[in-house]
Structure 1
Amino acid sequence: MNERFSASGLMNPFFPDEVTFGEKGVTFTVKKLFRSNDNFVFYSDISGVEIENSMFFSTIHVIPRMRPEIIINNFSKGDAKKVKELILQKVQS
């Protein structure tokens, strides 16, 4: 299951945030102009997922158990919902 979701290119066309699903966990890539930050979290370490919707885009908040919250921005509402569903399916398995 190596699904990948990318944030909308409208807000940040060169450096969109990404979510990549693997067998044991999920990787959140937050990109900036001269750097990027990859956060890998095992599914068993995720305690919750929240979605903050604006008029056009959504922000995904992933809450790991023993780490700071991970925030990824500018996803379509449909992709944000799918990311949340996939994470919660894996967490409950």
Structure 2
Amino acid sequence: MNDRFKASGLMNPMFPDEVSFGEKGVTFTVKKLFRSTDNFVFYSDISGVEIENSMFFSTIRVIPRMRPEIIINNFSKADAKKVKELILSKVQS
């Protein structure tokens, strides 16, 4: 399973956030102008996923067990829902 989701290019066309699924965990890439941050979290270390919907886009909050939450912005509502479903299906299995 190597699914990858990118945030909408409308809000941040040059540096969209990304979510990449792997065999053992998920990588969250938050991009800024001069830097980016990659956070890898094992599926077993995720305690929850929350989605905050605005009129056009969604924010995904991933809550790991032993570190601060990871926030990724500007995903379509459908992609945010799919990301949440994929994470929760891996966490529960």
TM-score range, shorter chain: over 0.9
Show CA shifts across 1:25-62 (max 9, x none): 00000000000000000000000000000000000000
Unaligned 5+ residue runs, structure 1? none
Aligned partner of residue 15 in structure 1, secondary structure: coil
Give the TM-score of the pair, scaled to structure 2: 1.00
| CA distance, structure 2, for counterparts of residue 86 and residue 62 of structure 1 | 12
1:74 Cα deviation from its structure 2 partner:
0.1
State the match for 1:91 in structure 2.
91
State the match for 1:12 in structure 2.
12
Pairwise CA RMSD of aligned residues?
A: 0.1
Identity %: 91
| CA distance, structure 2, for counterparts of residue 62 and residue 81 of structure 1 | 13
Give the TM-score of the pair, scaled to structure 1: 1.00
Unaligned 5+ residue runs, structure 2? none
Runs of at least 4 residues off by over 3 Å: none
Number of aligned positions between the proteins: 93
